[in-house]
Amino acid sequence: MANLADANGRAYVDYEIYELNPKLFDTFWRQLKASSLDEYGIFITTFNKNEIEFQGTGRWTMGNTIEGILDPEEVSTLSQVATLVRENQGLLHFEYDEYEPGSEILRAVELAFSFDQAGKPIVVEETMDDYPYSKEIIESLGFMPLDELIFNDRSQINAKLIN
């Protein structure tokens, strides 16, 4: 079983590329919102022109899930977006905070995708910066920390299950 990674962040393309075909990107964002891989996926909270904000759940990492979602079978407009981005030397960016409590991972991630001739996404930039792993920072990033007391005290687990 894979550990789940939660993420909060945004995805965007340069505004100049968005302006070349705004209707295409409006459709692309809607399709991206509807796509998911079983219980994994990105769930768009807002979108505005060239940018979306999202929350998501990844399998091991959010990056794995994003790469899986960026598949022409999942998003029918992807090949058109890929062509537009590639021909204009642009990138599709994802920036997010990621929390994977099973491995105590808390980090800021930036991914930038280019596309090959077939429309397949290629990670061309990737940065990961770890945050100090603390309950305060986890909460400040908008995640719910694991309550260690509940996991260490079986009577509290049973009380929560009964109520």
Give the Cα separation of 101 and 6 in Å (integer). Answer: 9
Task: Output 156 or 124, whichever has higher pLDDT.
Answer: 124
Residue 67 pLDDT class (50, 70, 90 cuts) = confident
Residue 154 pLDDT class (50, 70, 90 cuts) = very low
Task: Output 161 or 123, whichever has higher pLDDT.
Answer: 123
Longest dimension (CA), the chain: 61
Q: Six-digit token pair at 41?
A: 């996926």
Using alpha carbons only, what angle is made at residue 21 by residues 120 and 74, rounded to the nearest 5 degrees?
35
Q: Six-digit token pair at 15?
A: 């505004």
pLDDT of residue 153: 45
Q: What are the b/e assignments for 20-55, b being 16+ CB within 10 Å?
A: eeeeebebbbebbbebbeeebbbebeebeebbbebb
pLDDT of residue 86 exceeding 50: yes
- Above pLDDT 90, what percent of the chain? 52
Q: Six-digit token pair at 51?
A: 């940018």
Residue 73 pLDDT class (50, 70, 90 cuts) = confident
pTM tops 0.75, yes or no: yes
Strands 36-37 and 105-115: unpaired
